[in-house]
Copies of this chain bind each other. A is one copy, B any other.
Amino acid sequence: MPREPKASVTSSPASPVSITSADVARLAGVSRATVSFVLNDTPGHRVSAATRTRVLDAARQLGYVPHAAARSLRAGRSNLVLMPASVSAIGRLVSDWVDDLHSELDRHGYTAVLHAGRFTDPLDAARAWAELRPAAVIALDGDRFTAQAAELLSRAGVRGLLAFAARPVAGVHTIGFDHADIGATAAEHLIARGRKRIGVVLPQERGLGTLARPRLAGAESVAARHMATVTPVELAYTRESATALARRWPGLGLDAVFAYNDEYATLLLHALQAEGIAVPDEVAIVGSDDLVLSALQQPALTTIRLDLPSPARVADALHELIETGTTPPVPAVEALLVHRDTS
């Protein structure tokens, strides 16, 4: 059914004229260079207090905003902290953490921006980030970082390179976060509960593959040591996909599933129950992230709690990296099983 647009307006085509530093210079009766010295706090240039006041007054009067890019060109760096991430790949657990980190970075005078560019080649990604000349880059899935990408960023003047990653990368300050640990912790628990045929959910949503594959590999390595099997199971975060999976579940011959995280686990739990499959009697389920709603499911969801380092600690480390090029190690992320009623 066609819908009528409502409450929409178009900006007037007669936009205000852009104000440049030349306008400020004209009004203040000084050179453009003097405006630049004053507004960018360029070191090594003496400007009298009276001239300084005149320039600042003119800038205020005209509504002139100094250009961060210009300042960063001159100073060789910006106060941007760039975080490569797609919004939806950040789950509820991490999104609150990211918000707190942004507050902490703000406290240090940095502006946090999420860069949403999508790249298959780590060097292409590094090049796109480098173009913005951030003071630092902090990557949540740092296993995509390469030494070559780090060097490119470093050469572009990016001083802080911080990444959550399973393995150290040359030139990058690494905070240990091995997603294989999560899959291994889930598989160990399920095997200890007597399960032998474990499904591992691979979410079909964009951007989650790089996190899901090591979780699968971690479960596989544990299963191999215990005469258990691991079967990858594809699931999209929709009711239709979950219902389709639940319907073919009996044919899969699985007695347990590690469902990537609590959101997929809850979706699958409800879909299996709707098909009359008993949890945990016929299938045990383990999620990850220990979300607020997980303990409230019927039955309450067994999950894995991830202890992330405090945002304040990470912001301090990043600031020290930018200022000095080095910082003490930040504690690694730990995965802890929380046993409830689905396993």
Listed in ascending order, the chain A residues whose CB lies under 8 Å from chain B are: 3-13, 15-19, 63-70, 72-73, 76, 78, 80, 86-90, 92, 95-96, 98-99, 102-103, 106, 111-118, 127-128, 130-133, 150-152, 154-157, 159, 161, 166-168, 170-176, 178, 206-207, 237-239, 263, 266-267, 270-271, 274, 292-293, 295-296, 298, 307, 321, 325-332, 334
Inter-subunit contact A19/B155 (CB<8 Å): yes
Choose from B11, B170, B267 the contact partner of A296 (Cβ within 8 Å): B267
Contact partner, A113, options B3, B113, B156, Cβ 8 Å: B113
A127 touching B65, Cβ below 8 Å: yes
Given A70-B69, A293-B266: A329 in contact with B8 (beta carbons within 8 A): yes
Identify which of A116, A176, A206 gathers the most chain B CB atoms within 10 Å of its CB: A116
The reply to whether A99 and B18 contact each other, CB–CB distance below 8 Å, is no
Top-4 shortest CB links A-B: A69-B69, A7-B176, A8-B329, A68-B131
Q: Is the CB of A87 within 8 A of B88?
A: no
The reply to whether A73 and B69 contact each other, CB–CB distance below 8 Å, is yes
Given contacts A5-B332, A67-B133, A99-B86, contact A11 B326 (CB under 8 A): yes
**Distance of A274 from chain B, by nearest CB (Å):** 8
A103: which B residues are within 8 A, CB to CB? 118
Q: Chain B residues near A131 (CB, 8 Å)? A: 65-68
Cβ-defined contact, A292 with B237, below 8 A: yes
Given A98-B88, A331-B3, do A172 and B69 touch, yes or no (CB 8 Å)? no
Distance in angstroms from A319 CB to nearest chain B CB is 14
How distant is the Cα of A30 from the Cα of B283 in the complex, in angstroms? 70
Q: How far is the CB of A339 from chain B (nearest CB, A)?
A: 17
Tell me whether A96 and B88 are in contact (CB under 8 A).
yes
Contact of A7 among B4, B18, B64, B168 (CB under 8 A): B168
Determine whether the beta carbon of B18 is less than 8 Å from that of A292. Answer: no
Docked complex Cα distance between A104 and B172 (Å):
31
Residues of B within 8 A of A132 (CB): 68-69, 80, 113
Instruction: Give the Cβ gap from A305 to chain B, nearest Cβ, in Å.
Output: 14
In the docked arrangement, what's the CA distance between A117 and B82, Å? Answer: 13
The distance from the CB of A180 to the nearest CB of chain B, in whole angstroms, is 12
Instruction: Report the minimal beta-carbon distance from A50 to chain B, rounded to whole angstroms.
Output: 25
Indicate whether A292 sits within 8 Å of B267 (C-beta atoms), given known contacts A7-B167, A87-B95: yes
Complexed CA–CA distance, A48 and B212 (Å):
50
CA distance A13 to B326 in the complex (A): 7
Q: Which residues of B contact A326 (CB under 8 A)?
A: 10-11, 13
CB of A170 within 8 A of CB of B113, answer no
* Complex contact A112–B116 (CB within 8 A): yes
Distance of A160 from chain B, by nearest CB (Å):
9
When the two chains form the complex, which single residue of B15, B207, B295 contacts A239, counting CB atoms closer than 8 Å?
A: B295
Which of B80, B152, B172, B334 is close to A63, meaning CB atoms less than 8 Å apart? B152
A9 adjacent to B174 (CB under 8 Å): yes
Chain B residues lying within 8 Å of A70, measured Cβ to Cβ, are: 69, 73
| Structural contact, B113 and A63, CB atoms closer than 8 A | no
A102 nearest in chain B by CB position: B116
